[in-house]
Structure 1
Amino acid sequence: MFSVRNLLKVRAYSTYISKDNSYSSNVHITPSVVYEDAYSMKKAILKENKGKAGIYMLTNKLTCDIYVGQSIDLRKRFMKYFSLSYINSRKELIISRALIKYGYSNFSVTILEYCNESDLDVKEQYYFDKLNPQYNIQKIAGGSSKGLKLSEETKSKISKSLKGVYAGEKAY
């Protein structure tokens, strides 16, 4: 396992300040594991995180922008990120567009914390509040739609856009 206790004190004590002043020297986090190159360390990332729940962070090494997420099985989540067809189908997500634009080798993967499934929302919200990740659209823990209230107009548009999709009209 790749440990960061001695490896990345620089990141934990960074004085980098992003465009929106979200990551300053006041942030002190000691992550569980850091994989400096998502591309070359793919096998280790998948092997070491099988069946583990936790909070993770993807960091663009060129822009220093970050994405924070949670998963009940980190390996399964990372397998999705490493699937080009998956991220191409999720281009509405800023992190997907960034992975396509900059490439996996320009991202590091950090396991901020391994935790129980029941603690995921609380822990993710803690890191949202502490790090203010630029790639996250919503900064409400628990998934992309949790806490999101859709207007009746939006619900209607979604419904109309899906009409016939599963009935064969626009079947894939």
Structure 2
Amino acid sequence: MYKNNKNKNNFYKKYYSTKTNSGNYSKVVTDFLTDKNLNAVICFEDLQLQETKNIINEYSKNKAGIYLILNKVTLDYYIGSAATSRFYSRFHKHLIGLVGSKIVKNAVRKYGINNFAFIVLELFPEEVNKENNKKLLNIEDFYIKSLLPNYNILTEAGNSFGYKHTEIDRIKMKANYSEERRNRIGLLNKGKKLSEVTVERMREKALLRSSYSYSQEGLANLKKNSKPIVLYNKDGTVYGEYSSIVEVSNSLNCSVKTISRALKSNSKILKRTWYVKYK
């Protein structure tokens, strides 16, 4: 993982620190990161302040990577990815404009933006382009499958490029959960002593997990009536892959009719923001 632990700017110090044990996070954020065995690159709190928004905007320049949005009241969270210079765009879309994840939108309206934290988990070492876009998505996919953030998986889990883990994808996670992946995920906790409370939580969650897994035939039956769609940013990078037009509609808050019209048009432009095509 790529950490930004050097050359801290005092201007940012009030709003974030670069180490979990630095003491600059609020207690709820520190406890959350400790419980999840995460070492954040940067954590922004006091998100209701204009000064904080300005700092996030400045920090976002020339950076790409994985972010986490934490509800500090319920400890529910959302994980996404941001292309180069788009951390602020993702922050604004989900928490200010409220046009990203509908689950996050409803939570912000209920609890208030002051009860959320915007956390950068990992920085991507390259400028994101068409060629390496998939690498960033794979890193995000690993975080989602490792941590299973409920703001993602309840109905429309996804990342900042719009890729959504539908129910089919979640079933795939079960069917393809190899021993290698189990070992990789286990490395997140390797060498770290878990508290008795954490161990008990893990035990309780394990007891609640279903042992049922779907066959490949079952997966095929679920997919057969879906026609995949791909959204592209205007620069040609992939914004997201969706299993159906309905999924695009739900995730973008856009009518099926509008999406259908864009698919049939010569320009393929959707909402003056994306190009939409069948996969």
Of 44, 51, 60, the match for 2:55: 44
- CA spacing shift, 1:140–1:4, aligned 2, 3 Å: same
Measured in 2, the distance between the counterparts of 1:91 and 1:45 equals 18
Structure 1 residue 91 displacement after superposition: 7.9
Computing the radius of gyration from Cα coordinates, the structure with the larger value is 2
Measured in 2, the distance between the counterparts of 1:96 and 1:56 equals 16
Structure 1 residue 161 displacement after superposition: 8.5
Structure 1 residue 81 displacement after superposition: 3.5
Aligned residue type for 2:137:
D
Unaligned runs of at least 5 residues, structure 2: 1-11, 165-239, 250-254, 262-279
Measured in 1, the distance between the counterparts of 2:81 and 2:101 equals 19
- CA spacing shift, 1:91–1:151, aligned 2, 3 Å: closer
What is aligned with 2:162?
A: 143
- Please say if 1:101 is aligned against 2:115: no
Measured in 1, the distance between the counterparts of 2:259 and 2:89 equals 29
Greater CA drift, 122-131 or 138-147:
138-147
What is aligned with 1:79?
A: 92
Q: Highest relative contact order (Cα 8 Å, sep 6+), 1 or 2?
A: 1
The equivalences for 1:147-158 within 5 A come to 147-150=241-244, 158=256
Q: CA RMSD in A?
A: 3.0
Q: Secondary structure at the match of 1:135?
A: helix
The equivalences for 1:6-155 within 5 A come to 6-7=22-23, 9-14=30-35, 27-40=36-49, 41-72=52-83, 73-83=86-96, 86-87=97-98, 90=99, 93-115=102-124, 116=126, 117=128, 118=132, 119-136=135-152, 137-139=155-157, 142-145=161-164, 146-150=240-244
What is aligned with 2:257?
A: 159
- Please say if 1:3 is aligned against 2:22: no
- CA spacing shift, 1:162–1:78, aligned 2, 3 Å: same
Measured in 2, the distance between the counterparts of 1:48 and 1:92 equals 23
TM-score, normalising length: structure 2: 0.45
Measured in 2, the distance between the counterparts of 1:148 and 1:161 equals 12
Q: Secondary structure at the match of 2:119?
A: strand
Unaligned runs of at least 5 residues, structure 1: 15-26, 164-172
Task: Write the deviation string for residues 45-78 of structure 1: whole angstroms up to 9, x where unpaired.
Answer: 2221123211111100000000111111112222
- CA spacing shift, 1:161–1:44, aligned 2, 3 Å: closer
Greater helix fraction, Structure 1 or Structure 2: 2
Check conservation: 2:93, 2:100, Cα contact below 8 A.
Answer: no
Corresponding residue pairs, total:
145
Structure 1 residue 160 displacement after superposition: 7.8
Measured in 2, the distance between the counterparts of 1:161 and 1:47 equals 34
Aligned residue type for 1:148:
Y
Task: Write the deviation string for residues 25-48 of structure 1: whole angstroms up to 9, x where unpaired.
Answer: xx3211100113322322222221
Check conservation: 1:140, 1:147, Cα contact below 8 A.
Answer: no
Aligned residue type for 1:94:
I
Percent of aligned positions with the same letter in both sequences? Answer: 26
